[in-house]
Amino acid sequence: MSIDELNGRELDAQVAQRVFGLQIEPRVNTRTGETDYVYPLRPGAPPDEWVRIPFYSVSLAAAINLEVELQHRGWRRADSNLKDTGDVRVILQHTAGRRVEAFGRAPMALCRAALKAVALKAVSP
Protein backbone atom coordinates (compact mmCIF):
# COMPACT_ATOMS: atom_id res chain seq x y z
CA MET A 1 0.00 0.00 0.00
CA SER A 2 1.38 3.42 -0.94
CA ILE A 3 1.65 6.31 1.51
CA ASP A 4 -1.12 8.17 -0.33
CA GLU A 5 -3.48 5.23 0.28
CA LEU A 6 -2.86 5.00 4.03
CA ASN A 7 -5.57 6.31 6.31
CA GLY A 8 -7.07 5.85 9.75
CA ARG A 9 -5.24 3.91 12.41
CA GLU A 10 -2.87 2.33 9.87
CA LEU A 11 -1.66 5.82 8.95
CA ASP A 12 -1.36 6.74 12.63
CA ALA A 13 0.64 3.57 13.29
CA GLN A 14 3.09 4.34 10.48
CA VAL A 15 3.59 7.89 11.79
CA ALA A 16 4.12 6.62 15.35
CA GLN A 17 6.67 4.08 14.20
CA ARG A 18 8.50 5.81 11.34
CA VAL A 19 8.45 9.44 12.50
CA PHE A 20 8.44 9.15 16.29
CA GLY A 21 10.30 5.83 16.49
CA LEU A 22 7.75 4.24 18.83
CA GLN A 23 7.67 0.49 19.33
CA ILE A 24 4.11 -0.33 18.32
CA GLU A 25 2.01 -3.46 18.40
CA PRO A 26 -1.38 -4.14 16.86
CA ARG A 27 -4.07 -5.14 19.33
CA VAL A 28 -7.52 -6.41 18.48
CA ASN A 29 -10.36 -5.00 20.53
CA THR A 30 -12.16 -8.13 21.74
CA ARG A 31 -15.45 -6.26 21.94
CA THR A 32 -15.45 -4.66 18.47
CA GLY A 33 -13.01 -6.91 16.60
CA GLU A 34 -11.20 -3.81 15.28
CA THR A 35 -7.43 -3.50 15.23
CA ASP A 36 -5.80 -0.62 17.06
CA TYR A 37 -2.17 0.09 17.90
CA VAL A 38 -0.44 0.55 21.23
CA TYR A 39 3.04 1.44 22.48
CA PRO A 40 4.83 1.07 25.83
CA LEU A 41 5.11 4.09 28.10
CA ARG A 42 8.72 3.07 28.78
CA PRO A 43 11.09 0.38 27.46
CA GLY A 44 10.27 -3.03 28.90
CA ALA A 45 6.92 -1.86 30.27
CA PRO A 46 4.46 -4.60 31.23
CA PRO A 47 1.28 -4.94 29.10
CA ASP A 48 -0.78 -2.80 31.49
CA GLU A 49 1.57 0.14 30.76
CA TRP A 50 0.95 0.15 27.01
CA VAL A 51 -1.30 2.92 25.65
CA ARG A 52 -3.00 3.67 22.36
CA ILE A 53 -0.94 5.61 19.83
CA PRO A 54 -2.13 9.18 19.20
CA PHE A 55 -4.71 9.88 16.52
CA TYR A 56 -2.30 11.87 14.34
CA SER A 57 -4.49 11.70 11.22
CA VAL A 58 -7.61 13.21 12.80
CA SER A 59 -6.55 15.14 15.92
CA LEU A 60 -5.35 18.70 15.52
CA ALA A 61 -3.38 18.48 18.79
CA ALA A 62 -1.57 15.31 17.69
CA ALA A 63 -0.94 16.83 14.25
CA ILE A 64 0.65 19.88 15.91
CA ASN A 65 3.03 17.56 17.77
CA LEU A 66 3.85 15.94 14.42
CA GLU A 67 4.55 19.31 12.83
CA VAL A 68 6.86 20.26 15.73
CA GLU A 69 8.77 16.98 15.29
CA LEU A 70 9.14 17.69 11.57
CA GLN A 71 10.48 21.17 12.32
CA HIS A 72 13.13 19.63 14.58
CA ARG A 73 14.16 17.54 11.57
CA GLY A 74 14.46 20.58 9.29
CA TRP A 75 11.06 20.36 7.58
CA ARG A 76 8.73 23.38 7.32
CA ARG A 77 5.27 23.65 5.89
CA ALA A 78 5.77 25.52 2.62
CA ASP A 79 2.14 25.66 1.57
CA SER A 80 -1.33 24.30 2.20
CA ASN A 81 -3.87 25.02 -0.52
CA LEU A 82 -7.46 24.82 0.70
CA LYS A 83 -10.01 23.25 -1.63
CA ASP A 84 -13.82 23.49 -1.59
CA THR A 85 -14.08 19.92 -0.29
CA GLY A 86 -12.19 20.72 2.91
CA ASP A 87 -9.11 18.93 1.63
CA VAL A 88 -5.67 20.52 1.56
CA ARG A 89 -2.41 19.97 -0.24
CA VAL A 90 0.37 20.00 2.35
CA ILE A 91 3.80 20.86 0.98
CA LEU A 92 6.82 20.37 3.22
CA GLN A 93 10.19 21.91 2.37
CA HIS A 94 13.45 20.78 4.00
CA THR A 95 16.27 23.18 4.78
CA ALA A 96 18.42 21.15 2.36
CA GLY A 97 15.95 21.90 -0.46
CA ARG A 98 14.04 18.61 -0.61
CA ARG A 99 10.27 18.89 -0.99
CA VAL A 100 7.33 16.54 -0.46
CA GLU A 101 3.58 16.96 -0.71
CA ALA A 102 0.38 15.11 0.11
CA PHE A 103 -3.35 15.72 -0.29
CA GLY A 104 -6.34 15.06 2.00
CA ARG A 105 -7.96 16.40 5.13
CA ALA A 106 -5.45 18.62 6.93
CA PRO A 107 -4.13 16.24 9.62
CA MET A 108 -4.22 13.26 7.24
CA ALA A 109 -2.34 15.16 4.53
CA LEU A 110 0.27 16.25 7.07
CA CYS A 111 0.74 12.62 8.18
CA ARG A 112 1.20 11.45 4.61
CA ALA A 113 3.65 14.26 3.86
CA ALA A 114 5.57 13.42 7.06
CA LEU A 115 5.92 9.78 6.00
CA LYS A 116 7.16 10.88 2.59
CA ALA A 117 9.65 13.21 4.27
CA VAL A 118 11.14 10.51 6.50
CA ALA A 119 11.18 8.05 3.57
CA LEU A 120 12.99 10.63 1.43
CA LYS A 121 15.50 11.24 4.21
CA ALA A 122 16.15 7.49 4.41
CA VAL A 123 17.08 7.24 0.73
CA SER A 124 18.91 10.57 0.44
CA PRO A 125 22.72 10.48 0.40
For residue 73, count other CB atoms closer than 10 A to its CB.
14
Q: Which domains does the chain have, with CATH numbers?
A: 3-123 (3.30.2120.10)
pTM of the model: 0.88
d(CA 114, CA 125): 19
**pLDDT single digits (tens) 64-106:** 999 999 999 999 998 766 554 678 889 999 999 999 999 988 8
**pLDDT single digits (tens) 12-66:** 999 999 999 999 999 998 899 999 999 999 988 998 899 999 999 999 899 999 9
